[in-house]
Chain A
Amino acid sequence: DAGVIQSPRHEVTEMGQEVTLRCKPISGHDYLFWYRQTMMRGLELLIYFNNNVPIDDSGMPEDRFSAKMPNASFSTLKIQPSEPRDSAVYFCASSFTLVETQYFGPGTRLLVL
């Protein structure tokens, strides 16, 4: 398996624009996680899905953020409108169960100007 795949790897956009981040989890994994990492706050869990259903979105910062998982092999994290404080590295991870090892993707480095 190629591991967790994320795209794009880098995104530079202007404030107010819509940003869509994409993730393909490892095949067979029932759990998918979206994280955000910044120097100030470290790694934060935004939302996770089980069998394509959002289970816990308490980490989503505000209504500008939304995540979907239309099928077992694809998820998106959307920011609309984007703001400079959204600049961070966004990671997607997947796992078989909630207590087993999570496998992280390479991340999307987002810069909002």
Chain B
Amino acid sequence: KNQVEQSPQSLIILEGKNCTLQCNYTVSPFSNLRWYKQDTGRGPVSLTIMTFSENTKSNGRYTATLDADTKQSSLHITASQLSDSASYICVVSLFGNEKLTFGTGTRLTIIP
């Protein structure tokens, strides 16, 4: 069964610190992996999309890595800001029909 698991479920860090969120998946064959940021009460916003041939992609202070061999991805946030408080959702698509499998997300809270 195709699954996407994220860890930790929730995380609290001090403003200015770095953090890393994890995503493990069993989706196969794999097409691409996406990270979304979802602020409370709003729709998800895309941060990165990576295909199997990419192993890192950055978007400002957000850097996603992908290891297609071990089926693992991480999202690293550098110098966190209060506005980074949100849920981060990992989404993996199936090669061929691009069917999406969603992780349940990591709830990140940045405290001053």
Binding site for B on A (CB under 8 A): 4, 42-45, 56, 91, 93, 98-107
> Which residues of B are found within 8 Å of A106, using beta-carbon distances?
42-43
Q: Are A42 and B43 in contact (CB under 8 A)?
A: no
Q: Are A99 and B45 in contact (CB under 8 A)?
A: no
Counting chain B residues whose Cβ lies within 8 A of the other chain, the interface size class is 10 to 19
Count A-B contacts at CB 8 Å: 37
Bound complex: CA of A98 vs CA of B46, how far in Å? 14
> Which residues of B are found within 8 Å of A100, using beta-carbon distances?
49
Question: Within B24-48, which residues are at the interface with A (CB < 8 Å)?
Answer: 31-32, 42-46
Q: Are A99 and B31 in contact (CB under 8 A)?
A: yes
Which of B60-68, B71-79, B102-110 contacts the other chain?
B102-110
* Binary CB contact string for chain B from 68 to 112 against chain A (1 if under 8 A, 0 otherwise): 000000000000000000000100010001111011110000000
Known contacts A104-B44, A104-B45, A42 near B31 by CB under 8 Å: no
Bound complex: CA of A102 vs CA of B98, how far in Å? 13
Within 8 Å by CB of B46, from A43, A44, A101, lies A101
Q: Are B100 and A45 in contact (CB under 8 A)?
A: yes
> Which residues of A are found within 8 Å of B49, using beta-carbon distances?
99-101
Known contacts A99-B31, A100-B49, A107-B42, A43 near B98 by CB under 8 Å: no
Within 8 Å by CB of B89, from A4, A43, A103, A105, lies A43
> Which residues of A are found within 8 Å of B42, using beta-carbon distances?
106-107
